[in-house]
Structure 1
Amino acid sequence: MSDRTTSTDVLVIGGGMAGLAGALAMRENGASVTLVERASEFGEVGAGLQMSPNAARVLKRWGLLDQALEIGVRPKHLVFRDALSGEELTRQTLGSEFEERYGAPYLVIHRSDLHRILLNACDKAGVTLINDVMIDRVETVDGRGRAYAHNGDVYQADVILGADGLKSTLRSAVSDDGPVPSAFVAYRGTVPITDAIPQDDLEDVIVYLGPNCHLVQYPLRKGELLNTVAVFKSPSFERGEEQYGGVDELEKAYKDCVPEVRNALKNLGTSMRWPMYDREPIDNWVAGRMVLIGDAAHPMLQYLAQGACQALEDAAVLQDLSKGTVFTDLGRTSEAWDEVLRTFNAARFPRTAQVQRTARIWGESWHVSGTGRVLRNMLFKSRGDGNYQYNDWLYGQSPALVFASADDVSNETVSAI
């Protein structure tokens, strides 16, 4: 053992959305929590983030929803259009009926803003936050987790939350798989809103669906910025090139789209693109006293806008399962962690696997052409506004999530989480 050893109830590895959410949830349960992040500073890259009601309810329970709404935007509608014709295919009104049904609003927020809200909440709650820590390996010794840092430091904890993202190195403890490339890439951009932008679209989330491409736009920061995301099938990414030197692929992908879509490409930053990966679902995230959460456990494609949302759900379920059993007024009951982690894994795997698989199918339906496009449009147009049958499984409110054991996690309960 190193003489530079830190002992804590919970160690969180990774300072992204999942790590901060997990740290805050455990701290709210009374745990001593240390979070280590390999980067020299905390922060998030990217642009806008859609937070559906299942995630907004988690922010609400932590007293953070009002902060998110103060800096974010509560859109009025979610609108799908055909990118070749501009025709509206379907819409979902996100007003009072929607919010009452799901117990929270739909909001859009800049990734960096939500990250900062969670980071400040962790800091205020007393989470120990440490930068410049690269963890090389984790093991379980005498019923406690040990994480060995590259600089020789050792962190001991009753449980370790592995939240090191899509390209997780900690995942190798439970699986030898790797990220799965989708062949699609994304360019993103946020620009100040001007009079030249169609004002009717500034209160909604607009999604244009095209052959092997789609484009999403919505306002951010109280309507001061317009967020644009363009996703398309990339020949260079299919060849294995994560980045690409020009914009010819981007322009070619959208050449047949309506002017509103082609003009929106001017809002994108083209110096960097985001190759889109996920992984196959795995049914075990636990290795001894370490459990994976967030993208380390269940990375998913972005078509359901659920990556960060499912990370927040992870934290909420883990909070519920460990409350009153792992942390008590009389002290720490570390032996209870084995049951908590087993139950957490059993509760969350079916839910997140369903989201992962559905996101893939959803993406395929967005990008069809020819006869497939005609049939897709007919299906979308057959759905009336206020039809919740496609939303309830994902956004619906959950019952209490404290289970006596993993055997009590029924399919009915899991589907409602």
Structure 2
Amino acid sequence: MANILIAGGGIGGLAAALGLAGRGHRVTVLERRESFTELGAGIQLGPNAFHALDLLGVGAQVRDRAVYIDELLLMDGTTDEPIASMPLTGDYRARFGNPYAVVQRSDVYEPLLEGCRSHPRIELRGGRRVVGYEQRGQGSGEVIAVLSDGERLSGAALIGADGIRSDIRRQLVGDGDPRVSGHTIYRSVVPVEQVPEELRWNTVTLWAGPKWHFVHYPIGGGALMNLAATRDNGARTAVVGQPAGREHVLDEFPELGATPRRLLELGRDWKAWVLCDRDPVDTWTDGRVALLGDAAHPMLQYAAQGACQALEDAVVLAESLDCCEDTVVQRLEKYSAARRERTARTQLVAREIGRRLYHPAGEAARERDAMLRSLSPGGMYDEVAWLHGVDLG
């Protein structure tokens, strides 16, 4: 089988490595950081993510770390009144075949990393940033990964899983810097014992307001509470993990009602990000090079599908490359064709969710409330079936 290079050792890159090695390929993962670690706090995993994790062989390990929540709850962040809820237990799990859960990013990353480290056909190399690639004609059977220190490595294929600011995408697509959304998100994680018992809800709760929203849910096996507050403040410069003072964060959300205010006040050591994404593109491949995860389809967090879609990518990529080295080019194109429409829809829906569901004001907010309140649980499941249901191309 083929020797495949992967640029990027995040969730998507490691998932791709496991999937490809499971098909008999030799895989080298090239990570720009010296060590393989995953930063970030809480993420949500839909049933489609668990389906992919099971196919990659790490579903049980992630399930052991996950918190299985009872419902997705949308609240009016100014009045403390409920707007709508989507139950996530019996009927939901029966329909979609898997649970909905929340985890720390490390709860997904570490099982993937352990699987890669124990696999005889996977090599993990830290401190190796891939800055570009060269090809010697599609028929040569070789692509060259060019590293930042000048080293060159050859393989039958190169997978760019190097994130939203991907060097591989820069060469392959050439669409410049990511799109700055104008939304700033502040994140904090607090021990659950600091949360009043009456506020320890086993839900993903979103408090919606005009041009802002606040989300909280348990992670770390229920030992921690993840807090994330987002403001549509017109930010135009990308910010990544910048410390933010507690008083500044509280001042950004003066309209919060009494209950969400109590939770927001618990946050300490806040960090800020200005959210970015990109427009969908049709071109994911260039000969023996293909994109995956945030390098292919970076999206806003509002659909809670970034990691889920990267995991799906990994499964479809492995299935597409389940054959011979001399058909790699065609099989990468097959992978891209299988994934483009679904991920593009998810990217655009994530933007629309922020605008229409999380941040409206006045009459637009009243229309949202009426629409959501008209839906039964089954009707809500119909709305998310295309996304939460299994669709691996």
Distance 2:236 2:329 in 1: 42
Letter in 2 for 1:170: I
Equivalent residue for 1:397, pick from 382, 385, 390: 390
Give aligned-pair identity as a percent: 33
Equivalent residue for 1:130, pick from 125, 128, 136: 125
Distance 2:305 2:222 in 1: 23
Equivalent residue for 2:374, pick from 370, 376, 382: 382
Q: Secondary structure at the match of 1:35?
A: strand
| Alignment RMSD (CA, Å) | 1.9
Distance 2:244 2:4 in 1: 44
Contact 1:232–1:250 at 8 Å: present in 2 too? no
How far the C-alpha of 1:251 sits from its partner, in A, is: 2.6
Matching residue of 1:300: 299
Distance 1:222 1:378 in 2: 35
Matching residue of 2:360: 368
Distance 1:338 1:144 in 2: 11
Contact 1:9–1:32 at 8 Å: present in 2 too? yes
Contact 1:8–1:156 at 8 Å: present in 2 too? no
Q: Secondary structure at the match of 2:68?
A: coil
Equivalent residue for 1:168, pick from 166, 169, 173: 166
- Cα distance change on mapping 1:210 and 1:198 into 2, 3 Å: farther
Q: Which runs of 5+ in 1 are unaligned?
A: 1-6, 327-332, 402-416
Distance 2:239 2:224 in 1: 31
**More divergent stretch after superposition (50-59 vs 173-182):** 173-182
Matching residue of 1:190: 189
Superposition map of 1:221-300 within 5 A: 221-235=220-234, 237-238=235-236, 243=242, 246=245, 250-300=249-299
Matching residue of 2:343: 352
Distance 2:45 2:132 in 1: 33
**More divergent stretch after superposition (97-106 vs 31-40):** 97-106
Matching residue of 2:80: 86
Superposition map of 1:305-320 within 5 A: 305-320=304-319
Distance 1:245 1:200 in 2: 24
Matching residue of 1:147: 145
- Cα distance change on mapping 1:269 and 1:283 into 2, 3 Å: farther
Letter in 1 for 2:124: L
- Cα distance change on mapping 1:195 and 1:269 into 2, 3 Å: closer
Contact 2:5–2:155 at 8 Å: present in 1 too? yes
Contact 2:7–2:161 at 8 Å: present in 1 too? yes
How far the C-alpha of 1:252 sits from its partner, in A, is: 3.5
How far the C-alpha of 1:360 sits from its partner, in A, is: 0.6
**More divergent stretch after superposition (158-167 vs 260-269):** 260-269
Matching residue of 1:101: 95
Contact 2:73–2:206 at 8 Å: present in 1 too? yes
Q: Which runs of 5+ in 2 are unaligned?
A: none
Equivalent residue for 2:25, pick from 14, 31, 40: 31
Q: Secondary structure at the match of 2:377?
A: coil
How far the C-alpha of 1:382 sits from its partner, in A, is: 1.4
Distance 1:216 1:180 in 2: 23
Matching residue of 1:341: 332
- Count of equivalent residues: 385
- Please, what TM-score do these two structures have when normalized by structure 1? 0.88
Matching residue of 1:410: none
1:20 aligns with 2:14: yes
How far the C-alpha of 1:373 sits from its partner, in A, is: 1.2
Q: CA offsets, 1:224-271, max 9 Å, x none? A: 111111111235x23677758655653333211112222222343455
How far the C-alpha of 1:71 sits from its partner, in A, is: 1.4
Q: Secondary structure at the match of 2:331?
A: helix
1:46 aligns with 2:40: yes
Distance 1:128 1:240 in 2: 33
Q: CA offsets, 1:102-121, max 9 Å, x none? A: 12111111012211111111
- Please, what TM-score do these two structures have when normalized by structure 2? 0.93
Contact 2:104–2:219 at 8 Å: present in 1 too? yes
Contact 2:246–2:267 at 8 Å: present in 1 too? no
Letter in 1 for 2:61: Q
Distance 2:170 2:237 in 1: 26
How far the C-alpha of 1:59 sits from its partner, in A, is: 1.0
